[in-house]
Amino acid sequence: MNIDTPLNADDQLIIKQKNNTLVLNFVFVKNMETFEREFSLHNFEMYQSDYQRSAVVIKDKQDSQSTAISQTFEALQQETEIDWQKLKAELGEPMGQITLTANSTLLIYNQHLLVEIKKSDLINIRYVRQIFLNANQLYANNKLWSLGYFKQNSSVKQLKPYFLENNNEYDAEVEMQADAFKLSLYFEDNENSSSLGEAKLIIY
């Protein structure tokens, strides 16, 4: 790049041109023979120098979204076909989306809820412990997720009465199979017990 500027204290090289700023973030490993630091580019950021970040305002739709997903799960248990367009309207606008392939997309609806679609078909629904690192700043209440009777932080013992007849139990996973779906519950060790952390509902 024809630049002699040294890295700053944060191992960054900052380049400004007109109204644009490029920040190159470097990481290093120590050469065990020479004991010299060997730097390599880790990632970069580029933005307008006068850009002012606006405050993020998020309308909390977790309760209504949870209800919509729970109703979808009930419909699947009754082998009712899911209308993705109707469910999409009930969930509202996603907070973000990730393109997985040319035909599939992962939609982010709240700090727990991820929905994968392929073309115009619903593929799976995932509940995770927490998507956003700063969830407490985005939401007034740090709500737990629930999928019908299956609620985050519940134990295997508490949920066992609600397991479907066709199920397999592993060390940290319970897998329930039906004609229209497969539900996997993932448990995490928490001191002397295990608690439900994540769930994945695959729609056939």
- Alpha carbon distance 24, 15 (integer Å): 8
Which residue, among 41, 42, 46, has the nearest Cα to 22 in the 3D structure? Answer: 46
Mean pLDDT of the chain: 88
pLDDT band of 54, cuts 50, 70, 90: low
Amino acid 139: pLDDT: 60
Q: Is residue 7 located within the same domain as residue 108?
A: no
Q: Is residue 67 located within the same domain as residue 39?
A: no
Q: Is residue 92 located within the same domain as residue 23?
A: no
Task: Over range 176-198, report the average pLDDT.
Answer: 90
Amino acid 135: pLDDT: 58
Q: Is residue 102 located within the same domain as residue 33?
A: no
The tally of domains found in the chain comes to 2
Q: Is residue 24 located within the same domain as residue 110?
A: no
Q: Is residue 94 located within the same domain as residue 193?
A: yes
Q: Could you list the residue range(s) of the whole structural domain that residue 183 is in?
A: 62-203
Q: Is the pLDDT of residue 37 over 80?
A: yes
- Alpha helices, DSSP H only, in 43-200? 62-77, 84-91, 135-138, 156-159
Which residues, including other chains, have CB under 8 Å from residue 203's CB and lie 6 or more apart? Answer: 76, 82, 122, 123, 124, 125, 180, 181
Q: Is residue 130 located within the same domain as residue 147?
A: yes
Task: Over range 52-63, report the average pLDDT.
Answer: 69
Q: Is residue 186 located within the same domain as residue 96?
A: yes
